[in-house]
Chains A and B, each alone.
Chain A
Amino acid sequence: MPSAVPVSWYLILSAILFGLGVAGFLFRRNIITVFMSIELMLNAVNLSLVAFSYQHNQTDGHIFSFFVMVVAAAEAAVGLAIILTVFKNRSTLAIDDVSSLKN
């Protein structure tokens, strides 16, 4: 199936998504937003993995992106649990306020 969409477009989209994730991670203060930004970065990477995999006609990238999804799911489970507990204990989701380990 000759693709009308070149691989570089996928990669550019992946880079844009990754940049959005980084920006969200760096500049948003809400923990859930930060968490979502991380997921966004993971999926941007998944996209570039799948694109390269398709270009090279290999399955490694597909398998790898499945692994990333599994890890991301596990991470979401643990991370959301932590976020819930933090919110219960501190009634806040501002990331800069959760700094009692500092000092």
Chain B
Amino acid sequence: MEHASQQLWLIPLLPLLGFLINGLFGRRFPNLLVGLIAVGTVFGSFLWVVKSLQALGALEHAHVEHYYTWLESGNLNIGVDLMIDRLTAVMLLVVTGIGTLIHIYATGYMSHEGGFYRFFAYLNLFMFFMLTLVLGANYLMVFVGWEGVGLCSYLLIGFYTLKKSAGDAAKKAFIVNRIGDFGFTLAMFLMFVHFGSFDFKTVFDKVAPMAVEQTAGPLTWIALLLFVGAAGKSAQIPLYVWLPDAMEGPTPVSALIHAATMVTAGVYMVARSSVIFLRAPEAMDVVAVVGLATAVMAATIGLAQNDIKKVFAYSTVSQLGYMFLACGVGAFSAGIYHVVTHAFFKALLFLGAGSVIHALEGEQDMRHMGGLMSKIPITFAVLACAWVAIAGVPPFAGFYSKDEILLAAHHHHPWMYWVGVATAAMTAFYVSRAMFMTFFGKYRGHHHPHESPFVMWGPLAVLAVLSLAGGWYFKIPHFLEPLFPLAEGAHDETLVYISVAAGAAGIGLAWLFYVASPALPDSIANSLGGLYKLVYNKYFVDEAYNAAIVNPLVNGSRSLLWRVMDAGVIDGAVNGVGSLSRSIGGFVRLFQSGNIRSYAAWVTLGCVAVLVALGMAGGR
């Protein structure tokens, strides 16, 4: 059934309007007005999403709106097309809904910071690009949004322009993302070669009748290259290194971009391309294994971090690994389910952490926290909701989605299930550790904690409710069934009990270590020695990358490109031309003595020479 145009363009354009107003005139506006414009435009998008979805009804088929032909060349025709289907609907609601909450929170969190208008201009621009990414009806539109959110991520990580570490982290995020984008671009080229189009519908219609590839063919390559792009954006091995550093940005940015929305763009893109991935089983295996490896690795690193935001950053990497595991084993709806629940509880964890940091005037090291439960009770209460949600305690949000993923993994390969369960136990452990170190025991810092204002804990309360009830209330896999058929296989109760028990064990162990006998972790760390050091230093991955890639590149650029190529060849050629003409001029200058008689002598000599030459040539 065809629906009338819903003016979908309004959804991304409202935040763009906010960006333009705040970016151009925000400097002169009072903070209150800047905040109102930023929050208002994003909330307007949310309302328009809700209104469009109501008008579109059940969304049995994708609703596409064509506005403008962007590129037309030969048989290539790319339009500015926006599309809503059930997958887009889920993502739209998450992006605009959580985006609105985080914007509201940020008006409180950023109230004491300089560059208030700049922050909200960037944040609104991010919303514009993210909504373009989600709404785009062809790969090129998605790519526009994809690059745009990368740019905004860069701008916001480096928001504290005076901090060198923030600038370095921003550059790192941007450069690592470019590697992924390169894969995405190559995937699009291949797609154009094989299908002659970037349009979702056209490409998927051409792919659908194709057979499942038994050996690596074009679909496998396209899928793998798309996954390279997704691995860059969604921080998977080996491109995950930028996300922990991205925590240099303000905390609302960490919550919105680096936990809830942008980093899930890779999962969205893989799920969107499920038609391609399902016909490339080898690529699917790569996705699953990389996802699982990332989940385990990041979780182990998270065990030993002391910076509260770093813990949650590695947790994000780990949970993204879970999402890719789900996609890799064919349970795309479970992956998107986890995107949604993760957006709830991870945004809450970050915003709660931001509230703690705000209360302690910038302190991020958990060793200087502790005993905050009585001092900032509301923050503790909302963070506790996120805690039970991510730890997989039934019946809260994380339990449902993680359960779906683990069951699908078990159905695919039982060993993936067991590794996933071990990761779930570690997840429960490190989040509990963070909670115990922050809120239990005795206060170890020297600031005077104060509770955050209502604009900050109000959104937290909403997210807390979503974290508690979101998994049970939103039946995402069921809603997505027309797009991703539910995996067959019996719902094995035992497996559920095992994963819940693993989560409980993680929480219990953390309680034992950090509340019951606080001396225990140190002695264990000492007895493990090298292993602890390895994990504490994040497996030395950054150092290895620096030694293997960054330093050779820098040194090579310095010695070959700079000293030899630039200074030697290019500068040498330019300077050589200059000094050559100088020396020729210096010689020729001698003839121009200013003495008329010497000129006359030269003329005479010249005449004589001509005459002699004529005579030699026979007088002609």
Query: What per-residue 1/0 map shows which CB atoms of B340-364 lie under 8 Å from chain A?
Result: 0000000000000000000000000
| Cα separation A16 to B260 with both chains bound (whole Å) | 105
Is there contact, CB below 8 Å, between B597 and A99?
Answer: no
Is there contact, CB below 8 Å, between A25 and B595?
Answer: no
Closest to A99 in B: B594
Say if the beta carbon of B600 comes within 8 Å of chain A: yes
Interface residues of A in 88-103 (CB under 8 A from B): 95-96, 99, 101-103
| Cα separation A101 to B604 with both chains bound (whole Å) | 24
Which residues of the partner chain B approach A96 to less than 8 Å between Cβ atoms?
Answer: 595
Query: What per-residue 1/0 map shows which CB atoms of B257-289 lie under 8 Å from chain A?
Result: 000000000000000000000000000000000
Closest to B598 in A: A26
| Cα separation A84 to B595 with both chains bound (whole Å) | 21
Expressed in whole angstroms, the minimum distance between the Cβ of B598 and any Cβ of chain A is 9
Is there contact, CB below 8 Å, between B604 and A102?
Answer: no
Q: Contact size class for B?
A: under 10
Say if the beta carbon of B601 comes within 8 Å of chain A: yes
Is there contact, CB below 8 Å, between B594 and A95?
Answer: no
| Cα separation A42 to B594 with both chains bound (whole Å) | 24
Which residues of the partner chain A approach B604 to less than 8 Å between Cβ atoms?
Answer: 22, 26
Interface on chain B toward A: helix, strand, loop, or mixed SS?
helix
Query: What per-residue 1/0 map shows which CB atoms of A3-43 lie under 8 Å from chain B?
Result: 00000000000000000001001100000000000000000
Expressed in whole angstroms, the minimum distance between the Cβ of A100 and any Cβ of chain B is 11
Is there contact, CB below 8 Å, between A25 and B594?
Answer: no
A contacts with B, residue count (CB < 8 A): 9
Closest to A25 in B: B600
Is there contact, CB below 8 Å, between A102 and B597?
Answer: no
Which residues of the partner chain A approach B594 to less than 8 Å between Cβ atoms?
Answer: 99, 101-103
Is there contact, CB below 8 Å, between B600 and A26?
Answer: yes
Expressed in whole angstroms, the minimum distance between the Cβ of B619 and any Cβ of chain A is 14
Interface residues of B in 585-610 (CB under 8 A from A): 594-597, 600-601, 604
Which residues of the partner chain A approach B597 to less than 8 Å between Cβ atoms?
Answer: 25-26, 95
| Cα separation A61 to B604 with both chains bound (whole Å) | 24
| Cα separation A22 to B599 with both chains bound (whole Å) | 12
| Cα separation A101 to B595 with both chains bound (whole Å) | 11
Query: What per-residue 1/0 map shows which CB atoms of A67-103 lie under 8 Å from chain B?
Result: 0000000000000000000000000000110010111
Which residues of the partner chain B approach A22 to less than 8 Å between Cβ atoms?
Answer: 600, 604
Expressed in whole angstroms, the minimum distance between the Cβ of B512 and any Cβ of chain A is 96
| Cα separation A73 to B281 with both chains bound (whole Å) | 106
Closest to B604 in A: A22
Which residues of the partner chain B approach A95 to less than 8 Å between Cβ atoms?
Answer: 596-597
Closest to B593 in A: A102
| Cα separation A26 to B600 with both chains bound (whole Å) | 7
Closest to A96 in B: B595
Closest to B607 in A: A22
Query: What per-residue 1/0 map shows which CB atoms of A34-55 lie under 8 Å from chain B?
Result: 0000000000000000000000
Closest to A29 in B: B597
Which residues of the partner chain B approach A103 to less than 8 Å between Cβ atoms?
Answer: 594
| Cα separation A57 to B618 with both chains bound (whole Å) | 27
Closest to A98 in B: B596
| Cα separation A101 to B596 with both chains bound (whole Å) | 12
Which residues of the partner chain A approach B601 to less than 8 Å between Cβ atoms?
Answer: 26
Which residues of the partner chain B approach A101 to less than 8 Å between Cβ atoms?
Answer: 594
Closest to A34 in B: B597
Interface centre among B597, B600, B601 (most CB of A within 10 A): B597
Expressed in whole angstroms, the minimum distance between the Cβ of B10 and any Cβ of chain A is 77
Which residues of the partner chain B approach A25 to less than 8 Å between Cβ atoms?
Answer: 597, 600
| Cα separation A102 to B598 with both chains bound (whole Å) | 14
Expressed in whole angstroms, the minimum distance between the Cβ of B603 and any Cβ of chain A is 9
Interface residues of B in 558-615 (CB under 8 A from A): 594-597, 600-601, 604
Which residues of the partner chain A approach B595 to less than 8 Å between Cβ atoms?
Answer: 96, 99
Expressed in whole angstroms, the minimum distance between the Cβ of A102 and any Cβ of chain B is 4
| Cα separation A96 to B597 with both chains bound (whole Å) | 9
Closest to B594 in A: A102
Expressed in whole angstroms, the minimum distance between the Cβ of A95 and any Cβ of chain B is 7
| Cα separation A96 to B40 with both chains bound (whole Å) | 89
Q: What would be 16 A-B contacts, judged by CB atoms less than 8 Å apart?
A: A22-B600, A22-B604, A25-B597, A25-B600, A26-B597, A26-B600, A26-B601, A26-B604, A95-B596, A95-B597, A96-B595, A99-B594, A99-B595, A101-B594, A102-B594, A103-B594
Q: A residues within 8 Å of B by Cβ?
A: 22, 25-26, 95-96, 99, 101-103
Extra inter-chain contacts (11) besides given A22-B600, A22-B604, A25-B600, CB under 8 Å: A25-B597, A26-B597, A26-B601, A26-B604, A95-B596, A95-B597, A96-B595, A99-B594, A99-B595, A101-B594, A102-B594
Q: B residues within 8 Å of A by Cβ?
A: 594-597, 600-601, 604
- Nearest first, the 8 closest Cβ-Cβ pairs linking A and B are A102-B594, A26-B597, A26-B601, A22-B604, A26-B600, A25-B600, A99-B594, A26-B604
